Chain A
Amino acid sequence: MMFSYYLRKALRDRAYIFWALAFPLLLMTCFSVTFMGPSKGEVDFEPVKSSVIYVSESAFSEEFGNVLQNLSDPEIVKNSNMGYNHAIVEMIEVSSQENAEKMILDYDLEVLFLVDGEAEKIDVKVGDSVNTTTLMVARSVVESYRRNYQIMKDAAMTAPDKIQLVMDSISDQISVMKAKSSFLGEDGTSANVYAWYFYSTIVMGMFFNVTPGVHTVFDIQGDLSGYGMRTSVSPKKKSAILLSSFMARYVVACSVTFFDLLALKYIFKVPVGNRILEIILFVLIGNLFSMSLGALFGLFTKGDENQRDGKATGLIMLSVFLSGEMIVVLPGFLEKYCPIVNRLNPATIMNFAFFRLVNYSSLEGFWMNLIKIAGATVVFLTIAILKLRREKYAAL
């Protein structure tokens, strides 16, 4: 009975539904119109400071070296159909892999290509601080090269007379930062730097669940609201009421996020990857985090329900802004000048987690970020439950 009423209450909370569901969809529509339409999506950038180390040599590695040389020549890039009037990469000589990795840590180098010619494999190494633009450029180069090298090999087999033509066109076909075709996502669809805006919007929608967190506290705390007083005076156990109230809102919160993700994938055509279990975990933990943060605001800040909700929402808006919701390069800037913000900002941590979940082959970064958020959630929930268990108050 209580669960069903709390569920109805959450679903009829127009302000919450607007901010958690409608607002992210509106924002995603705006991003879609702005960034993803025909002839949109180009962004200028500084040449990426890159080095290459050849683990073993072959035609594959030799040709990749040639491509990098072409991309580092502004004249060649200008005369190509890539649409840029500057070099794509700035090649920096390095003596060894160790030396290159040290330079990455010192911010003297952004990308290291490790080319295994015999295995026809290219690994890309970047620092933790890499910004999304740099990452996209590096991935564009590698993925496009792989595709075109395959075409070149096929041409060598089927039409050897056309091979030079194919080779000449490889650089031209590396379409860095072009919307819809900049690089292949892991699920085979295309993604680009603007995906960051969409992922950030998903995180923002999840973080608006601080509001139900605040409401949950007010629903059952006799010292905070009249209806909390009613529930405290009733013979129902407080833990049962708390569980019903929290779970009803949590179910709505997670459903809203899944709906946003479905819209992202099927309406806005932004890749979300195909790691379903990890995505579910991401949504469950993200929403639990924001609701527990909201509960803390409900319990420990001053003011009425709306004032406490306002304070919680203000904080998460700041967090979301710093994560690059409005300015995609902001996390990169902060990483350079004040990295502690990125380490502590939950929205940035969640954005990185989702970005890595969708775009990285290794899930190490995703798990690290998710564990940080899960740890904070456990702490927040423990504090909130200990405080909420009190059934007699010092003041009303």
Chain B
Amino acid sequence: MNEIIKVDGLVKRYKELIAVDNFSMTVNEGEILGLLGPNGSGKSTTINCILSLLEFDKGTITIMGKEMTPKSYDLKSQIGVVPQEVSVFEELTVYENIDFFCGLYIEDKNERKKRVQEAIDFVGLEEFKKFRPKKLSGGLKRRLNIACGIAHKPKIIFFDEPTVAVDPQSRNKILEGIEQLRKEGATIIYTSHYMEEVEQLADRIIIIDKGQLIAEGTVDALKSMIKKSELIRIIVKGVAEEDVEKIRKLNNVYSVNYDGKELKVEAGHGNNVVEVIKVLEEKGYKMKGVYSEQPTLNDVFLELTGKELRDD
């Protein structure tokens, strides 16, 4: 795959604080790259440096093989941005907002008209196109925010936490839309601290914390990096301490907790559920429920950094 964006050794300092610390990454053409990290981890700062909005202290950034600068107008015309906050003009209607921001890229009125209508259809705002933003719900405003960033059909689109404070219905619509954009050929850089979204969307994920790259790879590759692969929860009463100890000594099991009602077993790769159930059945315990949970990106983050990914 072609490298469409390359960041090498990026450093950004705010006085004493190092927001981005020797960060390097590449984005391949046509992929959805998830940039995952807690609030304040340096995701947005990295994006803003790539967009040449922020001065940085060290490093190089190239887009399509060319150095990105504030005056790289040819590169800028290929880029679309969906900022974290809803960034539209309250005095203009939905249609006018999209037309205005599309007009920053496309001069031809007829071409613009076509693209604005396509963007409206894409985000499902047809019936609201004469509305002012203040009359839209939070989810619809987010959709408008997206439409303003994609109407000119950019090759590279940056989504900076586009689903913050959005209802589930709108969130699904937004995620489906992003998937559709990729299918149409766009390269997408998606930052979020919602791991489920990134897991659902991204072809490749970069985990960032304190401005440093913690890990990168596909979802499966990231999950395979950690020891824990499964959490088994069994609803069962009266398990004796000696039986809990027996489970603890099973292969792959490295943590067992029992509170008298629920048995929690953390295990590595292997046929763990069968082994645990076998021990309990042998002793005649009546199990009311058995659940097996696969590790999440939060588990990956927790194991790599020692803290939770989601802080809200």
Residues of A within 8 A of B (CB): 1-2, 5, 8-10, 12-13, 222-223, 225-227, 229-237, 241, 391-396
Contacts and interface: CB of A to CB of B under 8 A. Distances in A.
Nearest to A225: B87
Contacts, number: 88
Given A1-B103, A2-B100, A396-B48, A233 B87 contact: no
Give chain B's interface residue range (CB within 8 Å of chain A).
35 or more
B91 A13 contact: yes
B54 interface: yes
A227 B88 contact: yes
A1 B52 CA distance: 25
Given A12-B92, A233-B53, 9 more contacts: A8-B92, A226-B84, A226-B86, A230-B149, A232-B70, A391-B70, A393-B54, A393-B55, A395-B14
A87 to B, nearest CB: 59
Interface in B69-121: 70-71, 73-74, 76-77, 79, 81, 83-89, 91-92, 96, 99-101, 103-105, 107, 109
Contacts of A395: 14, 54
A227 B103 contact: no
Contacts of A230: 81, 83, 87, 101, 104, 148-149
A2 B52 contact: no
A12 B91 contact: yes
B87 A392 contact: no
Contacts of A396: 44-45, 48, 53-54
A246 to B, nearest CB: 16
A239 to B, nearest CB: 12
B51 interface: yes
A226 B87 contact: yes
Given A2-B100, A392-B52, A393-B55, A229 B81 contact: yes
A168 to B, nearest CB: 66
8 contacts: A5-B99, A9-B92, A10-B91, A233-B81, A235-B73, A235-B74, A394-B54, A395-B14
A32 to B, nearest CB: 32
Nearest to A236: B104
A393 B53 contact: yes
Given A12-B91, A13-B91, A394-B55, A229 B83 contact: yes
A321 B208 CA distance: 54
Contacts of A229: 53, 81, 83, 87
